[in-house]
Amino acid sequence: MNNLVVYVLVFASSFVHAARFNTCATGEVCKPQNECEAVMKITSKGGWTPQERAYLKSKHCNYVNRLNHFCCASDTKPDHLPEAPKCGIYFGDRIVNGEDTNIDEFPWFALIQYSKPGNRIGHNCGGSLINDQYVLTAAHCKILVPKTWKITKVRLGEWDMRTNPDCQEDFCNDRYVEVPVVNILVHPEYYFEGVAQYHDIAILKLERKVEFSNWIKPICLPVDARIRSMDFTSHSLEVVGFGLTETGFTSPVKKKVELDGRTQAECQAQYNKAGVRIFEKHFCAGSDNGKDSCNGDSGSPLMKFGNFPHSKFGHYMQVGLVSFGARRCGTPDSSGVYVRVSEYMDWIIENTKY
């Protein structure tokens, strides 16, 4: 018996002796270990991290016939969240190493509109359209804004805030669409400690279903269990928004930034001096040249472009959403902190049903 098998058996026995079985969340079923791909990806190797060990304990749901069972994503996919090619598809040219977006790029981006005293309006957060009636954003976009600000609408199909419709050379889009928000659901475990945000995710329900077009489309979420378990550390990622630029002013045109995924240890080391705790439901990304997401981009999607399971098309997958970061925007070698969307998929699936 090799060392790996011994290691797995010893660790497995600790589950049994604990005799505490967890109840599976909505969208999960209790499966034998060898039928759960996310678990097998961890148990097939030795030297588990504290986060992996905690994950296994949290998913342990039974012990039958000398075999551990774990909560694993159900094979039944929710029909109210789209999968590629019905989401995340962009047929234009992807410009790499650039900051300007094409007029039809990232058609799932949503501007969160606030009503303010004096009949003023503002767009102070971003979000992502995840189906035809729900938008994903950050919880602090609801909780930490002034009490006199109220989220009233979501604007979709926007590219240049100075014009409507917008044109890029001779190519023009449709007029943007504004849809009232009828419900705001903040994650029940959300809290903040100083600059740090935890479980910083919220769902906006729109008054009506929106009609998709070349300018308005949903982004894909990691519904599939194989995607949920993927590690995007060191991957090239993109974030999009109208947030504060290096000049300190909000950009009137939708921008994008390319970032690299960072390990939790790297990120924690950067935030130690600030006394900020980075936990497993955070995801960090940054760059070495000062590029970052900034204030005003809160709630905007962090995305990965690639070929994912169940799709023959390259498409965008939302892996995070902007939560918090260094106090000085674009600080070189710093990481922004994002909500790890895969950790909240069960909650999202349960709360976006029609």
Same domain assignment for residues 182 and 52: no
Same domain assignment for residues 215 and 155: yes
Q: Is residue 63 assigned to a domain?
A: yes
Whether the pLDDT of residue 8 is over 50: the answer is no
Residue keyed to tokens 């995924």: 261
Q: Of the candidates 17, 52, 73, which is a domain's last residue?
A: 73
The proportion of the chain whose per-residue pLDDT surpasses 70, expressed as a percent, equals 84
Q: Is residue 19 assigned to a domain?
A: yes
Of 102-111, 257-266, 321-330, the poorest mean pLDDT is in: 321-330
Same domain assignment for residues 154 and 57: no
- What DSSP string describes 62-78? EEETTEEEEEEE-SSPP
Q: Is residue 85 assigned to a domain?
A: no
Range of the domain at 22: 3-73
Beta-carbon neighbour count of residue 280 at 10 Å?
15
Q: Which two tokens stand for residue 33?
A: 């270990």
Q: Is residue 147 assigned to a domain?
A: yes
The crossing angle, in degrees rounded to 10, of helices 3-18 and 50-59 is 50
Q: Which two tokens stand for residue 236?
A: 């090239």
State the average pLDDT for the chain: 85
Q: Of the candidates 73, 93, 126, which is a domain's last residue?
A: 73
Distance from C-alpha of 292 to C-alpha of 245, rounded to nearest angstrom: 9
Same domain assignment for residues 66 and 145: no
pLDDT at 85: 80
Alpha-carbon separation of residue 221 from 87, 131, 290, 300, 332 (angstroms): 9, 10, 28, 14, 30
The pLDDT-based confidence of 10 (bands split at 50, 70, 90) is very low
Which residues lie closer than 8 Å to 47 by C-beta, 6 or more apart? none
Same domain assignment for residues 124 and 51: no
Same domain assignment for residues 62 and 125: no
Beta-carbon neighbour count of residue 250 at 10 Å?
19
More confident residue, 26 or 271: 271
pLDDT at 2: 44
Q: Is residue 103 assigned to a domain?
A: no
Structure confidence by residue, pLDDT tens digits, 185-244:
999 999 999 889 999 999 999 999 999 999 999 999 998 877 887 888 888 999 998 876
Show which residues are catalytic: 140, 200, 298
pTM, two decimals, is 0.80
CATH number at residue 323: 2.40.10.120
Distance from C-alpha of 122 to C-alpha of 10, rounded to nearest angstrom: 57
Same domain assignment for residues 59 and 134: no
Q: Do the Cβ atoms of 228 and 40 come closer than 8 Å?
A: no
Beta-carbon neighbour count of residue 272 at 10 Å?
11
Number of folded domains that form the chain: 2
Structure confidence by residue, pLDDT tens digits, 68-112:
999 887 766 677 888 888 898 876 554 444 588 999 999 999 999
CATH number at residue 58: 3.30.1640
Q: Is residue 305 assigned to a domain?
A: yes
Same domain assignment for residues 48 and 116: no
Same domain assignment for residues 200 and 255: yes
Whether the pLDDT of residue 15 is over 80: the answer is no
Q: Is residue 278 assigned to a domain?
A: yes
- What DSSP string describes 128-182? EE-SSSEEEE-THHHHSS-TT-EEEEEEES-SBTT-SS-EETTEE-PPPEEEEEE
